Chains A and B, each alone.
Chain A
Amino acid sequence: MALLELRGISKRFGGLQALARVDIELEDGVIASLIGPNGAGKTTLFNTLTGLYQPDEGEIRFQNRSLIGLKPDQITGAGISRTFQNIRLFSRMTVLDNVLVGMHSRLNTKLWQIFLATQEYQAREKAAQRRAMELIDLAGLAGRENEWAHQLSYGEQRRLEIARALAAAPKLLLLDEPTAGMNTSEAQSLMTLFKELIGRYVQAILLIEHNMRVVMGISDRVHVLDYGEKIAEGHPDEVRQDPRVIEAYLGHGAWTEHAKS
């Protein structure tokens, strides 16, 4: 049984077919990559998956439950959380509070408990803070928890976004270009982190990535989108050889050139 199943997902924006009948299946315990040239529909797929857009057609099933029609916060509650391509942190909140926001739905404290500051409420807050600190450590931000989020460097902000997404205790983690703007060693350490996450913090990761070294290095499966259509999928080595993929990236005729050399 697949963790996530997309069946025939289509999304149009006016005359632009952003996604055309995309099928993707994601198994438990897998790191999968979503690649494709700019404008291929990768982020649109993420937005559709997380409820920011509603698909025009198709079915999304997560743990055998349909996600169609759910609001973003309900989808997060169901166990999918994400990071954003252009970092969207809560900049005038502390690092710790950023992570704690991710636990909103898990805390589930009632208004009267907050007013009376009941013991149960305080215990839950404490536990949430402990867990948040753990995630902050995991993201390599130990000791920075009381700083404003906007005071962090670019790379640290990206890592904080991952910690915040993990705070929602997701089963599936969606990462939108997590290594964008990072140097090789930073990207390398993130890759190690992702591998550690599987099984311990999340069941599966789906990431959008342009850095092919990252994609080939950690993916169990790769799905390739071009002009909203899924053109290939499979093991990274298979996908690398796929003529349609090479054509999508390098243009028509590239395959023959490639074969000659």
Chain B
Amino acid sequence: MTRSLVPIGLLAYISGSCLLAVLYPQSVLAFLLFEASLLLLYYIPVHAKVKSTLAALVLIVLMPLLGYINGYYLEVAIQIGIYAALALGLNIVVGFVGLLNLGFVAFYAIGAYLWAIFGSPQANEFIAGGGFPLAPYWFFVFLLLSIGVGALTGLVLGLPVLRLRGDYLAVVTLGFAEVVRALVNNLDKPINLTNGPRGISPIVKPPLFFHPVLEFFGLQVTDAKLYPLYFYFLVLLLVCIIILVTRRLESSRIGRAWKAIREDEIAAAAMGVPVVRMKLLGFAVGASFASAVGVLFAAKQVFINPESFTFMESIGVLAMVILGGMGSIPGAILGATGVTILNLQLLKGLSLWLNGLRQSGAVLSLPLLGSYSLSQLPVQFEPAKYERMVFGLILILMMIFRPQGILPPRRDRRR
């Protein structure tokens, strides 16, 4: 009796929060409530079918609808998807295999530049014939290609490096990321490969192959409105594939070998696990995820430059994995979501609110202390400027109170 009420309650919550977000398009809070519905879905024990139906409703129907009304929401959702995919890739390396990689963003950059160079007039600089940019459908070819290229660079970095342990490995991966960044920053001469710090633009977007279908249904959507939705579904699809692949790997002999290496390398080898090969595989799989997301990122941004691939970006993704819970798939997704929302919405929202207060010129009167005009609030006092600080604070608090992360890996019950 009460059990059957739970799904109805969930549905009510989802539609209610969605309605709120529609009615108050400026309200960060309303959108947060809506986003929380997915977390709720994860936690509340209902039948798996109910769960997946509701999750599909939120992700495939309501979210695009909301995004159609307010484009910013869609931008946030796409960013969350991109970071979730990155965090899932890093989670394999750090969370499963237990190798600290501080230069994960390098693989992301490689994927992004792979499409940026050939999907823009940039390639004409060093390949004669003026055949570039490539036609939009090449985007999908490059998406597949980037998986291979990412895996290959993962192997190339992994081979010399994986003999190192712990701190040494971390330092070398950090160095690798900096080398990649320095390369893309400086490969504009003697041959202009990457156009250096000026970056590459315009980058071709994926083809709108479903236009005829939309016209058939009589839907008139402008391209400007369509592309964000398109990217949203692409990212969603990519993240779903990555989750599926990661889950399959995790429950296979390969996932078990990875965790065994993380727990005790010597014992793992003694149990017949080829340690070096498994480490390389982990590196390659993680790198291929990042590289594929990179291609998507380049196409979405239209313009990329080396600034997008700094060391802080690597640290950011690592923090998502640690916050969410190392070695946990839902953890990595939650970490990516939480950090992205914090950066894009919470802090910015707070800043906007403070700005509003300042401009309203309201006077705050405190007993004993006298009155204080809010218009005098210093500009430096904006939460968006404290992004890193808030972030660091959260990490420190997490390490003290919940070092295993918000959603640490659960024991999967079998049989």
Contacts and interface: CB of A to CB of B under 8 A. Distances in A.
Given A93-B259, A146-B414, A114 B271 contact: no
Contact of A115 (B248, B264, B274): B248
Best-surrounded residue of B262, B267, B414 (most CB of chain A within 10 A):
B267
A76 B256 CA distance: 17
Nearest to B269: A72
A3 interface: no
Nearest to B281: A111
Contacts, number: 109
Contacts of A88: 264, 266-267, 270
Contacts of A197: none
B267 A104 contact: no
A82 interface: yes
A117 B257 CA distance: 18
Contacts of B281: 111
A94 interface: yes
Interface SS of chain B: helix
A81 B272 contact: yes
Nearest to A151: B411
A90 B248 contact: no
Contacts of B327: 92
A129 B273 contact: no
- Greatest chain A CB density within 10 A among B256, B259, B327 is at B256
B260 A73 contact: no
Nearest to B413: A146
Contact of A114 (B248, B262, B263, B415): B248
A50 B266 CA distance: 11
B415 A103 contact: no
B253 A109 contact: yes
Interface string A100-117: 111111110101001101
Nearest to A174: B270
B273 A101 contact: yes
A60 B272 CA distance: 19
A94 B411 contact: yes
B263 A91 contact: yes
Contacts of B268: 90, 101
A207 interface: no
A204 to B, nearest CB: 18
A72 B270 CA distance: 5
Interface in B260-309: 260, 262-264, 266-275, 281
Interface in A43-94: 50-52, 71-73, 76-77, 81-82, 84, 88-94
Contacts of A194: none
A97 interface: yes
B194 to A, nearest CB: 32
A128 B248 CA distance: 16
Contact of A90 (B260, B409, B414): B260
Contact of B411 (A73, A128, A148, A164): A148
A247 to B, nearest CB: 34
B39 interface: no
- Top 9 nearest A-B pairs (CB, nearest first) are A76-B272, A90-B263, A72-B269, A88-B267, A105-B272, A114-B252, A101-B260, A107-B253, A73-B274
Interface of B: 245, 248-249, 251-254, 256-257, 259-260, 262-264, 266-275, 281, 327, 409, 411-415
Given A73-B272, A73-B273, A105-B274, 6 more contacts: A81-B271, A104-B253, A104-B271, A109-B252, A125-B251, A133-B415
Interface of A: 50-52, 71-73, 76-77, 81-82, 84, 88-94, 96-97, 100-107, 109, 111, 114-115, 117, 121, 125, 128-129, 133, 145-148, 164-165, 167-168
